[in-house]
Amino acid sequence: MANMKEIAKIAGVSLGTVSHVLNGSAAVREPLRKRVMEAVDALGYQPSQLARGLRRDKTNMIGMIIPDVTNPFFPAVVRGAEDVAFEHGYRLVLCNTDNDHSKEIAHLNELRTYLPSGLIVIPSNFSDLTTQAESYRRSGAAVVCVDRLPKDWNGDTVTADNEHGAYDATNYLLRQGHRHLAIITGPRHLTNAQQRLKGFKRALHEKKISIGPEYIQETSFDQQGGHAKTLLLLRMIPRPTAIFAGNDMIAFGAILAFREAGLRCPEDISLIGFDNLDMAEMCSPSLSSVSQPGYQMGNAAARILIDRVRGDAGPAKHVVIETALKIRESVAPPPAGSSNGRRPAR
Ligand code: RIB
């Protein structure tokens, strides 16, 4: 396999000049640079990232860990990070944890052996990232946390304004006249689920509306959980006339439950989700949802990480990206005759 010495010989330059051209470590006059690159092409030289990494104790790899590769929200975050990483000469290695913190630890331990420049992590359930990140920091690798934050995290973060997004969605339902609302949250140990529940409760509190604890249901952020918890809510008396789902996957499960129960959405019951996945537009009824800008979150996380790798030693950054409420077919005023303060139809 060709090496730098052979390149130097063919190009008629020093080994140091070859190294400067290939590593971009110093300016080289154009005629010399051209001769080096011609020799590289002639020899079909491929620099060894691992060899370069061992020399620098760092490779151009960025590890990215996500909790659920089947949820379309996360690939959007990955794409945003990857676009920035590639633009700056870094390569992303993607790991999925299935929301399992022991799998997250396995990925963290393995990624460390590749001498990454840094990590972008969307923590799993019960993540121990705070402890694990310390060893990365000691080795000079940056770690940025996205979307939900592990216990005692004090590093860089990029999140959406979950609380305000949920507050907006709940207020919209209240303005439609709903008074018997319910929420199906994600796992309440996750900060994003906590913040969405907080926004939901704040909107109700401001309108002096109280709901029983049974109208606050918790499940995993997936369709199966949304389906099961919606069937439970539909058996309650009074039946809720509107459900705020902690994410779109939960909302898709709710739509299936409405159909099984013979209920029309929104004529009999309204629904709002969170994430505004592409499927929200295509499902029937089209789903009203809080748009969470996954691509921008990934983009911002990668920019923060690369700045850290390049020497930014300032205080921890906390980027909070605004959400936006997208209203579609799944919301209407409460059905006539429901006990929402409206006279039953004669
Ligand atoms: O992990 C599930 C949810 O967390 C996603 O749907 C998205 O809302 C993220 O915040």
Measure 73 CA to ligand 1 centroid, in angstroms: 7
- The domain in which residue 283 lies consists of 162-292
Do 98 and 183 belong to one domain? no
> Which pLDDT does position 342 carry in this prediction?
43
Give the pLDDT band of residue 341 (cuts 50, 70, 90).
very low
Do 90 and 144 belong to one domain? yes
* Probe residue for ligand 1, chosen from 163, 275, 297, 323 as the CB with the greatest number of ligand atoms within 8 Å: 275
* Probe residue for ligand 1, chosen from 71, 188, 189, 223 as the CB with the greatest number of ligand atoms within 8 Å: 71
What's the pLDDT tens digit per position in 160-170? 999 999 999 99
Scanning the chain, the segments in alpha helix (DSSP H) are 4-11, 15-23, 30-43, 49-56, 73-87, 101-112, 129-138, 162-175, 191-206, 223-234, 248-260, 278-282, 294-309
Do 237 and 88 belong to one domain? no
Do 279 and 175 belong to one domain? yes
| Nearest CA residue ID for atom 2, ligand 1 | 221
CATH number at residue 265: 3.40.50.2300
CATH number at residue 10: 1.10.260.40
Do 167 and 315 belong to one domain? no
Atom of ligand 1 nearest to the CA of 277: 6
Residue 344 pLDDT > 60, yes or no?
no
Strands in 44-164 per DSSP E: 61-66, 91-96, 118-121, 142-146, 156-160
Q: Is residue 26 part of a domain?
A: yes
What's the pLDDT tens digit per position in 145-202? 999 999 999 999 999 999 999 999 999 999 999 999 999 999 999 999 999 999 999 9
Residue ranges around ligand 1 (CB below 6 Å): 67-68, 71, 73, 147, 186, 192, 221, 247, 274-275, 292
Domain count, the chain: 3
What's the pLDDT tens digit per position in 71-130? 999 999 999 999 999 999 999 999 999 999 999 999 999 999 899 999 999 999 999 999
Do 266 and 218 belong to one domain? yes
